[in-house]
Amino acid sequence: MSEWIGELAAVRQLPRLAVRAPRLLAQRRGHGEPVMVLPGRGVGDASTAPLRAYLVALGYRCRGWGLGVDDGDMDRLVPGVSAALLAMVGDDGRPVALVGQSLGGYVAREVARDHPELVSQVITIGTPIFGARSSRSLRRPVTAIASRADRIVSWSRAFDRSPEATNVEVASTHMGMGIDPDVWRVVANTLRSSDG
């Protein structure tokens, strides 16, 4: 229960986001690169709408996953995201960056294992890193964003220990990461550095 009370600090992100909006909108712009944002467990695309709107404002072609609420059913979610990813790549032929919050990041990692040719990179936000569903290695660039203030997913469990992964620490609660200006800045910088 105490971890959920501590997560109420997420409301502090809203004024920070408002104050930092001009600097966030001054980040390097995208050029229509495709991005799919996956929500955490218990929520759906509405929870990622602010981040997606920000990425669209920066010039990315960004969409949600369109699968309703993340119920944690990997047998449904991984194939569902794979199908949505295939359709998105079919629109213009470019691989898609997958950005996943919490359990959505786990789904993104598993989809990237199954379909590396369709994924440009994976960015996880407060995502627990645990056993993979398949024996395939994750062959796409991974950036893992974690926080010591996260009372839901320990920051040490949200860091990717593989040598090729990039780990970034922020100071946000788990629930606040979706609207944290520091998280948004990391996502925008990672997308641009990868896209050139």
Q: What average pLDDT does the segment 124-135 reach?
A: 90
- At residue 132 the predicted structure's pLDDT band, cuts being 50, 70 and 90, is confident
* The pLDDT value given to residue 12: 62
Q: What average pLDDT does the segment 34-58 reach?
A: 96
In a domain, 174, yes or no: yes
Q: Check pLDDT > 50 for residue 196.
A: no
Determine the Cα–Cα distance for residues 184 and 165; give it in Å rounded to an integer.
Answer: 19
In a domain, 159, yes or no: yes
With residue 114 as reference, give the H or E element that holds it: helix 103-114
CATH of residue 153: 3.40.50.1820
In a domain, 17, yes or no: yes
In a domain, 29, yes or no: yes
> Is residue 18 within 8 Å of 49, Cβ to Cβ?
no
With residue 170 as reference, give the H or E element that holds it: strand 166-170
Alpha helix locations (H) across the chain?
Answer: 2-7, 13-25, 49-57, 74-92, 103-114, 155-158, 181-195
- At residue 7 the predicted structure's pLDDT band, cuts being 50, 70 and 90, is very low
Q: Check pLDDT > 60 for residue 1.
A: no
In a domain, 74, yes or no: yes
What is the domain count for the chain? 1
Residue 104's domain spans which residues? 2-132+143-195
* The pLDDT value given to residue 9: 52
Mean pLDDT over each residue of the chain, to the nearest integer = 89
Residue 190 DSSP label: H
> What phi and psi values does residue 120 have, to the nearest 5 degrees?
-85, -40
In a domain, 21, yes or no: yes
Q: What average pLDDT does the segment 1-19 reach?
A: 57
Most confidently modeled range among 34-38, 152-156, 177-181: 34-38
In a domain, 100, yes or no: yes
Q: Of 105 and 173, which is predicted with more confidence?
A: 105
In a domain, 138, yes or no: no
